[in-house]
Each structure stands twice: as C-alpha cells, then as structure tokens.
A and B are shown apart, each in its own frame.
Chain A
Amino acid sequence: MKITDKIHEILKIGFPGDQVQVGPMRGASDDHLEIIVTSKKFEGLMLLEQHQMVMDLLKEEFKDALHAVKIKTKVSV
C-alpha cells in the first residue's frame, strides 16, 4: 500500500466522517506528506492540541516509513 493511502486510512479511522486529505509534500521525497484535516473535534482546541490529535494517530508510522508531515487543521462549520 502506498504510504499516502495508508496514512489516509489511519486518519479516516481517527476522524470518522471528517474531511481528510493526504498528499506528497511538494519538492520532497515520498516520506514527506501534507495533511489537511477538517473536523468538528478541533473546536475550542489550541492549534497545538489540534496538531497533537493528528500526530498521535501517526506515532507508529513515524517510527517506520514516515519522516515528516506538514499539517493543516481546520474546524468544520
């Protein structure tokens, strides 16, 4: 499975029903990804906490094939 698909799947499980986008980071190798998650769960949370929620789901992947991610979190309305 491609790493982008794998990460997408993991995030979809962590954020069921929410909008999750995963793609390669422009100008970087395959282990660098860009992630956008739009969720109601982020409401009222600090940016740090929002990112931590996403990072938390990817912890195991960081030990393995994933090197870096660029995260954008949005609160869905």
Chain B
Amino acid sequence: MSDNPFKIINPKVEEEHAKKASTEIPTGFEEADTQKRIEKIINSNSVVVFMKGNASFPQCGFSANTVGMLTQLNAGFRTYDILQDPELRQAIKEFSNWPTFPQVYLKGKLIGGNDIVTEMYQSGDLAKVLS
C-alpha cells in the first residue's frame, strides 16, 4: 500500500518528469541552441528591436531614438533588453555581424542600427517597409 493512496501519478513517471525538467533549465546555451533561440526571437514579431532597456525606459540615446521613430510611425514592435541577457547580447552581435545596439529586425532580417533606421525614416523608406 502506498503512503499516499490519492497519488495517482506513478512516482517513476514523476521522477522522470522532474529529471527532464531539470535538464531543460537553460544553464548555458550550446551554440546551436543560441542560434535557434535568436531565430525564434527575431521571428516572434514582424519588427523586433534588440536594445538597451525597453521602449518605456531606454538606457541609451540611440536605442531611445530608434524606438521613438518606430513609435511615431505606429509600427507594432517588440523589444528585447540585451542588458538583461549578457549571453544573448554577445550572441546577437555575432549572429547579426553587427557590434552595437540597437539592432532592428524586420520579418526576421536585420535592417540595421540607429543610423540606418534614421536614414530610412528621413527618406520615407522606413514607413514604406513597415506598412
């Protein structure tokens, strides 16, 4: 007789489950996992901004400028604060072949940093590609 007659889950199964869950905790990403993670993030929304801080509290003037332009164009965008995630911060730089932030992705592709977004904003191209 079991100590807990109401426990309908087989303890073996539960044990297995716990083991699986613990291996899923991201203690350090392998290269391939990081790549997958980045791809997942950049495809999670049509516009994704990797930045310092977030749209409400940008931690850098360049990031602030970029989200300001996107906001003004009423573009829906998702931000990702790289200051909260040093590992991702490094990985994104390599993935994008771009050493600074912000970085703006449109439909899974890098369109550029603040300078390029500003130039596109001024020329009207940004409004075009966002519509």
Task: List residues of chain A with CB under 8 Å of any chain B CB.
Answer: 47-48, 51-52, 55-56, 58-59, 62-63, 68-72
Shortest Cβ distance from B100 into chain A, in angstroms? 6
Q: Which A-B residue pairs are the 5 nearest by beta carbons?
A: A62-B99, A48-B112, A71-B115, A47-B116, A59-B99
CB atoms of A55 and B98 under 8 A apart: yes
| B72-116 residues at the A interface, CB under 8 angstroms | 97-100, 110-113, 115-116
Question: Can you list 9 A-B contacts with CB-CB less than 8 angstroms, sorted by A residue number?
Answer: A47-B112, A47-B116, A52-B97, A55-B98, A56-B97, A63-B99, A70-B115, A71-B115, A72-B115
CB atoms of A51 and B100 under 8 A apart: no
CB atoms of A51 and B99 under 8 A apart: no
For B100, list chain A residues within 8 Å (CB). 55, 62, 68-69
Partner of B111 from A48, A68, A71, A72 at Cβ < 8 Å = A48
Is B119 at the interface (CB under 8 A from chain A)?
yes
With most chain B CB atoms within 10 A of its CB, the pick from A48, A63, A72 is A48
For B112, list chain A residues within 8 Å (CB). 47-48, 51
For B97, list chain A residues within 8 Å (CB). 52, 55-56
Query: Once bound together, how far apart are the Cα atoms of A47 and B111, in whole Å?
Result: 9
Is B62 at the interface (CB under 8 A from chain A)?
yes
For A51, list chain B residues within 8 Å (CB). 112-113, 115-116
With contact pairs A68-B62, A71-B115 given, residues A58 and B110 touching in the complex (Cβ less than 8 Å): no
Query: Once bound together, how far apart are the Cα atoms of A72 and B118, in whole Å?
Result: 11
For B116, list chain A residues within 8 Å (CB). 47-48, 51
CB atoms of A48 and B110 under 8 A apart: yes
